[in-house]
Structure 1
Amino acid sequence: MPFDHYGVLAGTLEQHFRDTPDMEGAWFHVNLRVDAPDGRYKCAVDVDSHDSDTGVQWKVFTVDASALGPLAALAPGYHDLARTAGSGALDYIRHPALRGRPVRPSWPLPRWLRELLDRWLRPSRPWQTGSNLDAALALETILGIGRPILVFGEPFDVGLGVHNVHQNQGDPYDSPWWDENGTWQDGATLTRRPDGRYDVFLSKFSSQKDHTDAAGHPV
């Protein structure tokens, strides 16, 4: 089932660092420490696996604050978001500021028409592909200490923190994360530039699809 809780942390970036090779866990992260009125949050941005062939893909780009709707006006702190368009929630495939292309219809299509649409809907911001270190370097380009930051994902069950800071839909049927697929619950990292615009880092795993149905499952 989709996440029970999804939201965004608004705060100030205090520190960032990478996992070290001997840290527990299979997934490699860039770790963020974000200051907010109720304390310092720990945020883990997934950028690949230590021990599997699951690849990572990412995008880095800049958007105007106006493209983010209510997000730019949020007070510092963690905010739950409804998993709907217009709430401030993010969806890589459906959010106009993120998708960089029209959305392909979710209903069944003849193969010839599906292939034609896939060519026409090719994203204007293609995914970059590389190693966990490549992805970490790309994220770190937007991580200025002292910058206002927005971190989207699932809040920790215990303590102050946010995880699942990556695409949270499009996982295949045989994936352990199939049940967590959902629309309007994608994770992301955004930092505010001095000119008021936002630098954006999106990441997904190569097994996750770019086209999903209303339940967030791949089509």
Structure 2
Amino acid sequence: MGSNAEPGERKRRSFIEEARREQITKAAAQVTAEVGYANTSLSRIAEKAGISKSVITYHFSGKDEILRLVTTQLFERAWQHMQARIETEATATGQIRAWIGAQLEYFGAHRTEFLAMSEIVAGHRNPDGTPAYSDDLAEEVDGLTEILARGQRDGEFREFDPRGVATIILRSADGVLGAWAYDDGVDLPGQTAVLLDFIDHAIRSGP
């Protein structure tokens, strides 16, 4: 079944076809993490997966489709992990801590996929030249902004610009992840604890 199938056809992929696509996306993540976005090619993906290039083109239209799937799958799986933790928290403070803590925890357990995703998000562009994942990143800021604004209404947080602070928090988490991703000597759980303490002191209401 080719990648140009209609949505209804895609739902009827066999177990073997789904397994092959998963094999290809895993190989693509490994290659991208190792050699970077620009150097990732169908030939390298095929070599990593131990299959022929024609097998890849049978299942995917090209590199673009594969790498988009690598990224969207990681986004979805990370959010499922985070959402389960966030929804157990009754307060905005707890939800902010759960959001950042669970995000760093998930990526920490999926280093290769995170490295690949970082390369793809930084390097991939739409046909008009705009960043391909700007909407996804904006949605992330929207979600955190909503929690921060609710925390202010409930008196948990001091007065500040919720969107600006949401952006700062998320970029700070990116910084911690970036330091860890390129230096496996970085203590990610330890740095996560430091970041959460910093956030608590930065946003909470009162002394």
TM-score range, shorter chain: under 0.3
When Rg is computed on C-alpha atoms for both structures, the one with the higher figure is 2
Q: Which has the higher contact order (CA 8 A, sep 6+)?
A: 1
The answer to which structure has the higher helix fraction is 2
Higher strand proportion: 1
Using structure 2 for the length normalisation, give the TM-score: 0.24
